[in-house]
A and B are shown apart, each in its own frame.
Chain A
Amino acid sequence: MSTGEPEAKPARSVSRRSALKCLGGAAAAASVAACSSNAERAKFVESFIRTNFRELSDEDRQGLIKHWEKKYTKRYGKPVTVSATPPQKDVLFGYALDISRCIGCRRCVYACVEENNQSRDPQVHWITVLEMDKDKGVDLHHANAHYDAESVPQPGKFYFPVQCQQCEDPPCVKSCPVGATWQEPDGIVTIDYDWCVGCRCCMSACPYGARHFNWREPSIPADELNTETEYLGNRPRPRGVVEKCTFCIQRTRNGQYPACVEVCPVGARKFGNLLDPESEIRYIIENKRIFVFKKELNTRPKFFYYYG
């Protein structure tokens, strides 16, 4: 996103929105007959005609957030908050993973599921851990994603967790036909679940298998729901849309570490601000032997692997 864009956008979206209101109103008239109250009718039309979250005014965003908070609170029978925390200034998030420490316990996988409200049935995991042979190095064609995490680490094996690499030049964003996924100023690639059409172009475009589709209605038991949610992050997703790791946007934009970093029992996961020369992540990049996954594709990940 260039700096000049935000000023130019509102005017365009306002005119299209008003045009849409007329159109959507007419088109939805038939189905609206089924809704009982005026308020409900307004909501229905609004949900159909709203535009991409990125282009909404602050006022519209607040309205939308209230709408979802009410809906989730009703669905799960307990108060759920939805926030739209803005990115912090002068922050560009980066991640580093020490593959000589990782033991393949998959605690990160499950901490992520709980924190980010992934579906339990069917199971959706944003992190995939691959078991690889030490004598072959990072060789995907001999990697095993279905190893038994109860008996790790295995002799002669090492473990290679993969999640969204938060590319500087993300092929998924480029491929999305409706602009439902984009890169935020702090480097996080986000998805508007209410704008995604579910065509899955981004999944084919992603070289890291980081994107996951809700093949059926996701299910999360109410008592396991994380009620502090972010609009572009861990709020419960509908069926038929794509989701992925957001570096725990709901935590990291508020100064916390991602859940996977906190839970890692061996301290293999590091996280910080790439623009801060004093940060741990900068120290690792400057002093360790780092590499990025599939460098030849020039996606420029902000997720670095290193040998500690």
Chain B
Amino acid sequence: MKEFFRFVGGSVRIVTRGRKMYYAWLGVLVLLIIQGALAYAEQFRTGLVLTDMRDPLSWGFYIGNFTFLVGVAAAAVMLVIPAYVYHWKPMREVVIFGELLAIAAILMCLLFVLVDMGHPERFWHLIPFLGTPNLPSSILAWDAMVLNVYLALNLVVATYLIFCAFYRRDYNHSVVTALVILSIPAAVSIHTVTAFLYNGMASRPYWNSAILAPRFLASAFCSGPAILLILFQVLRRTTRFEIQKEALHKIAELMAYAMAINLFLFGAEVFREYYSNTEHLVHTQYLFSGLHGHPSPIAKYAWGSVILGIVAFVLFLIPAARRHPVSMNLGCVMIYISVYIEKGIALIVPGYTPDVLGQIYEYVPSITEVRVSVGIFSVGFLAFTLMVKVAIGVLFGDIHAANVRDGDTLSPATAQPAG
């Protein structure tokens, strides 16, 4: 226990020291969080009327972001499998950062669910033994449970690995491997259960498709690693973080497979909708063209998502292109935007449009929704920044138990480069 406190103390010292750029970044995030908190305070006082959601479209931007981020969190598992189970060396550091990203993503997920609730102060009604979670029949009750289990798993593994590195000891391989193996089905489950949340609603034919969960997983395995690839390069430039080129290329290769599966599943869905041409086609028509002779306001996003997804796939399919830094980063940004649209606007809006009584309500996120969402993303970035700062300081810097023990302050030489 005493050792753990020293680890915490060391971590606090790491995050409170850094270069000007580091402080400026934290300052910007804190400002964005404050504006988000102010917007949310207003929403909490007045009600969800400050969003643009209404009865015909009862979930919007918040739940779209939630869905996207569950995918990001789940994708960490993809990097975990080869690293720990097959003892593939170059991936180890990749995995810790993948897990930290998962923690930050789940944190954002939980916040997005909370701000979407009419009575967030009653969240404890969902907690087993305290409240009355409607298990096994409610998918949202399951989702809350698996998300928290996944969060706990990643917190434990990442903290333990960094803790061991802090004391320069070897970690307990059997325990870590067991937890990591457990986190694989947990990662699959969080995204599957989130897909079932939509999928299980027979009232919404657009979501009621058997390949929704596989599509969720496939697109998550595109967007999650895309974020990681970009983050790794940023970290490599701004900090002491080291990563082998092989690891980056391996991730890019795995992404190419995921993109192929993602496009295939999308094609299968489109074929079924248009070829069978039932009355349920209206939702897909609203997504890509429009209804009753009116062009759809979301069609441009939908087409953008499809085109970006195809171009990114072509880039990643060619080995030379996915290894070249410029085309690799371009592909990452493209697939990120593509999946963000696919899991947000293109998933939620057509599900509700036309609504269950055939009526059309046009939805655009309100200023409050955008402000609160920016605030939540900033909370996620802040959490990720602080966790990564500790991880880099311990794994790649000189910071460990020995030099934290004696002096109250770290020498500038050890503190600076970690920032």
- The reply to whether A199 and B117 form a contact with Cβ atoms under 8 Å apart is yes
Interface centre among B120, B133, B201 (most CB of A within 10 A): B201
Give the 7 A-B CB pairs with smallest separation, nearest first.
A198-B118, A240-B118, A140-B358, A207-B203, A216-B49, A177-B140, A216-B47
Question: What size tier do the contact residues of chain A reach?
Answer: 35 or more
Q: Which of A147-199 contact B (CB under 8 A)?
A: 162, 171, 174-180, 195-199
Rounded to whole Å, the gap between the CB of A218 and the closest CB of chain B is 10
- The reply to whether B358 and A142 form a contact with Cβ atoms under 8 Å apart is yes
Interface centre among A145, A179, A204 (most CB of B within 10 A): A204
B148 on the A face (CB < 8 A): no
B56 contact set on A, CB distance < 8 A? 209
As a 0/1 sequence over residues 34 to 74 of chain B, the CB contacts with chain A under 8 angstroms (1 = contact) are 00000000000011110101111011000000000000000
- The reply to whether B55 and A213 form a contact with Cβ atoms under 8 Å apart is yes
**Chain A, Cβ-Cβ closest to B351:** A204
Q: Which of A188-235 contact B (CB under 8 A)?
A: 195-201, 203-209, 211-217
Q: Which of B195-230 contact A (CB under 8 A)?
A: 197, 200-204
B364 on the A face (CB < 8 A): no
- The reply to whether A175 and B119 form a contact with Cβ atoms under 8 Å apart is no
A114 on the B face (CB < 8 A): no
Indicate whether A205 sits within 8 Å of B46 (C-beta atoms), given known contacts A196-B118, A197-B119. Answer: no
Rounded to whole Å, the gap between the CB of B52 and the closest CB of chain A is 10
Indicate whether A212 sits within 8 Å of B55 (C-beta atoms), given known contacts A176-B138, A201-B138, A239-B47. Answer: yes
- The reply to whether B203 and A204 form a contact with Cβ atoms under 8 Å apart is yes
B351 contact set on A, CB distance < 8 A? 204
A144 to B356, CA, bound (A): 13
Indicate whether A141 sits within 8 Å of B279 (C-beta atoms), given known contacts A196-B118, A204-B58, A214-B47. Answer: yes
A139 to B120, CA, bound (A): 38
Question: What size tier do the contact residues of chain B reach?
Answer: 35 or more
A196 to B58, CA, bound (A): 15
**Chain B, Cβ-Cβ closest to A13:** B132
Q: Which of A128-150 contact B (CB under 8 A)?
A: 128, 130, 139-143, 145-146
- The 8 Å CB contact of A171, one of B51, B130, B203, B279, is B203
- The reply to whether A241 and B358 form a contact with Cβ atoms under 8 Å apart is no
A179 contact set on B, CB distance < 8 A? 132-134, 138
A75 on the B face (CB < 8 A): no
- The reply to whether A130 and B357 form a contact with Cβ atoms under 8 Å apart is yes
- The reply to whether A200 and B203 form a contact with Cβ atoms under 8 Å apart is no
A55 contact set on B, CB distance < 8 A? 132
**Chain A, Cβ-Cβ closest to B198:** A204
A19 contact set on B, CB distance < 8 A? 129
A240 to B131, CA, bound (A): 19
A58 to B37, CA, bound (A): 42
Q: Which of B227-264 contact A (CB under 8 A)?
A: none
B167 on the A face (CB < 8 A): no
Given contacts A176-B138, A198-B117, 5 further A-B contacts (CB under 8 A): A143-B358, A171-B202, A197-B125, A201-B197, A215-B48
A298 to B282, CA, bound (A): 22
**Chain A, Cβ-Cβ closest to B134:** A179
Q: Which of A12-67 contact B (CB under 8 A)?
A: 16, 19-20, 23, 51-52, 55
Interface centre among B59, B122, B204 (most CB of A within 10 A): B122
Interface centre among B48, B117, B119, B137 (most CB of A within 10 A): B119
A122 on the B face (CB < 8 A): yes
- The 8 Å CB contact of A174, one of B126, B133, B137, is B137
Rounded to whole Å, the gap between the CB of B272 and the closest CB of chain A is 17
- The reply to whether A240 and B203 form a contact with Cβ atoms under 8 Å apart is no
Question: 5 interchain pairs (CB within 8 A)?
Answer: A200-B58, A203-B55, A215-B51, A216-B48, A240-B47
A209 contact set on B, CB distance < 8 A? 55-56, 355-357
B111 contact set on A, CB distance < 8 A? none
A205 to B138, CA, bound (A): 11
Rounded to whole Å, the gap between the CB of A72 and the closest CB of chain B is 19
Q: Which of A286-305 contact B (CB under 8 A)?
A: 297-298
B46 contact set on A, CB distance < 8 A? 216
A203 to B361, CA, bound (A): 15
Rounded to whole Å, the gap between the CB of A240 and the closest CB of chain B is 3
B55 contact set on A, CB distance < 8 A? 203, 209, 211-213
B123 on the A face (CB < 8 A): yes
- The reply to whether B357 and A143 form a contact with Cβ atoms under 8 Å apart is yes
B48 contact set on A, CB distance < 8 A? 198, 213, 215-216, 240
B117 contact set on A, CB distance < 8 A? 197-199, 240
A20 contact set on B, CB distance < 8 A? 130
- The 8 Å CB contact of A207, one of B59, B129, B202, B352, is B202
A190 to B96, CA, bound (A): 48
- The reply to whether A178 and B132 form a contact with Cβ atoms under 8 Å apart is yes
As a 0/1 sequence over residues 231 to 254 of chain A, the CB contacts with chain B under 8 angstroms (1 = contact) are 000000001111000000000000
B181 contact set on A, CB distance < 8 A? none
B58 contact set on A, CB distance < 8 A? 200, 203-204, 213
